[in-house]
């Protein structure tokens, strides 16, 4: 039932007819007290509770963006025309709380929807609209201190945030960050200015520690190794001012460079270069694991889009209505994540039931996935709705009488 023509969870038990459900959802979303901030707060509260029960030394705050494409939804008059490549829709920015002890996603703490007319956010005080994703991060870092999280925060970001000017801003604000960077960045290392690629090639093989972990990259499995050194960023930042790129000098910034490699024999399957101002009390292996768990936010986007809620098929006509529904959809994702990490016997039975209802074909050693559980949850809700009006025996009699070819003669 979660297909390209089904716009998310719809058949909720006890909600009346389909038209009544649609009207109820519209009234709920249009109510003045129903704001993105209030709708996301239960998700935040659940995430805080999970973090309090964790043994994690820090809380990972993962930042990323995903375009919600509505190229054929002409009724959405406030769509953003992002570039000349035909990206039309809303630009979703998300901040996901992740458990640094085991990489579990705990819940989105903030959502931002960039539209053609401004920015809609789950933050109580709306952010100032910016032109670049990386410019949003400092505001989110400041806001994260008001979320009531009981661990030191480490902000994890992909290469889009590889910017020395922003590194300086974040460090000056006493924010801890972990960012993947390109190997052509110039740093001072051992007294010389040189590119990171040269720094990495000069690291002695003996400095790479075996983490003991196996990692699969492009269907090939290798062993994970990490090494670390210290580099200094001294060059001016490049900032756009009045439409022109200018050099902005800044103080020298000393950072940790963590190099994570996946090796198969003597070959390198993959390599990541990470810059961070996280204290050295957290080793290089921990930082490499934290960055690897950045992928959890990609899985969150997948649940919202093709593998779950089918957000790009939603028919709401404004970005505000979409933003409110995104908060509700996040609650469904949260329910699935909670079920995924519950090791109790009843939870295992529920997971098996939902996978069975989903009809998904999973890998032999993978008992459940979040998309399969979400698809199974949709069907379970529909089944429960039907069972309020029919007993199982009544259903069998009805189907046997009208669809006899579904049963064998003795069935």
In the numeric block, the tokens 């007819």 are attached to 17
Beta strands 153-157 and 59-69, pairing class: parallel
Q: String of b and e for 135-165 (b: at least 16 CB within 10 Å)?
A: bbbbbbbebbeebebebebbbbbbeebbbbb
Max avg pLDDT among 31-45, 94-108, 265-279: 94-108
Q: List the beta strands (DSSP E) in 105-208.
A: 105-114, 119-121, 153-157, 176-180, 186-189, 192-195
pLDDT of 127 strictly over 90: no
Q: CB of 12 within 8 A of CB of 21? A: yes
How far apart are the C-alpha atoms of 47 and 294, rounded to whole Å?
17
pLDDT of 351 strictly over 70: yes
Q: CB of 21 within 8 A of CB of 10? A: yes
Strand-pairing partners, residue 65, are: 93
Closest CA relative to residue 82, chosen from 47, 116, 38, 34 = 116
Residue 109 confidence (pLDDT): 97
Q: Lowest-pLDDT range, 212-226, 254-268, 311-325?
A: 212-226
CA distance to 30, 71, 111, 180, 246, per residue, from 330 (Å): 19, 23, 10, 27, 40
Residue 4 confidence (pLDDT): 41
How far apart are the C-alpha atoms of 309 and 329, rounded to whole Å?
7
Q: What is the DSSP letter of 313?
A: G
pLDDT in tens, 46-103: 999 999 999 999 999 999 999 999 988 888 999 998 876 678 999 999 999 999 999 9
pLDDT of 221 strictly over 70: yes
**Percent of the chain surpassing pLDDT 70:** 92
Residue 377 confidence (pLDDT): 87
Residue 361 confidence (pLDDT): 83
Q: Lowest-pLDDT range, 14-18, 57-61, 233-237?
A: 14-18
Q: What is the mean pLDDT of the segment spanning 98-127?
A: 90
Helices (H) and strands (E) in the chain, counts: 11, 15
Q: Which fold would CATH assign to domain 18-182+271-334?
A: Transposase Inhibitor Protein From Tn5; Chain A, domain 1 (3.90.350)
- For the chain, what are the domain ranges? 18-182+271-334
């Amino acid at each position: 039932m979660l297909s390209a023509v089904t716009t998310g969870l719809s058949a909720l038990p006890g909600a009346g007819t389909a038209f009544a459900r649609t009207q109820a959802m519209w009234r709920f979303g249009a109510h003045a007290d129903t704001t993105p901030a209030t709708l996301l707060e239960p998700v935040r509260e659940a995430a805080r509770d999970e973090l309090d029960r964790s043994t994690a030394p820090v809380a990972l705050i993962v930042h990323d963006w995903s375009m919600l494409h509505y190229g054929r939804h002409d009724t959405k008059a406030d769509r953003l025309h992002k570039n000349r490549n035909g990206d039309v829709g809303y630009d979703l920015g998300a901040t996901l709380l992740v458990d640094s002890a085991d990489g579990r996603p705990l819940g989105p703490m903030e959502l931002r929807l960039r539209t053609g007319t401004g920015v809609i956010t789950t933050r109580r005080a709306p952010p100032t609209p910016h032109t670049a994703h990386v410019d949003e991060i400092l505001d989110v870092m400041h806001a994260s201190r008001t979320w009531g999280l009981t661990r030191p925060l480490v902000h994890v970001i992909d290469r889009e945030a590889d910017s020395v000017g922003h590194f300086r801003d974040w460090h000056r604000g006493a924010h801890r960050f972990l960012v993947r960077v390109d190997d052509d960045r110039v740093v001072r290392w051992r007294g010389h200015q040189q590119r990171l690629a040269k720094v990495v090639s000069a690291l002695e093989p003996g400095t790479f520690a075996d983490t003991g972990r196996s990692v699969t990259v492009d269907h090939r499995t290798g062993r994970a190794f990490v090494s670390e050194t210290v580099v200094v960023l001294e060059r001016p930042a490049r900032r756009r001012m009045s439409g022109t790129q200018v050099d902005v000098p800044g103080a020298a910034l000393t950072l940790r460079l963590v190099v994570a490699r996946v090796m198969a024999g003597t070959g390198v399957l993959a390599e990541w270069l990470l810059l961070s101002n996280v204290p050295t009390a957290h080793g290089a292996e921990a930082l490499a694991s934290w960055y690897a768990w950045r992928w959890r936010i990609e899985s969150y986007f997948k649940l919202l889009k093709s593998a779950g809620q089918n957000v790009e098929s939603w028919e709401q006509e404004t970005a505000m209505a979409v933003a409110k529904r995104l908060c509700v959809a996040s609650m469904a994702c949260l329910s699935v994540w909670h079920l995924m990490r519950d090791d109790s016997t009843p939870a295992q039975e529920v997971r098996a039931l939902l996978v069975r209802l989903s009809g998904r074909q999973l890998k032999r050693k993978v008992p459940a996935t979040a998309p399969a559980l979400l698809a199974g949850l949709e069907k379970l809700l529909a089944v429960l709705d039907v069972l309020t009006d029919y007993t199982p025996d009544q259903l069998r009699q009805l189907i046997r009488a009208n669809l006899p070819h579904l049963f064998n003669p003795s069935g």
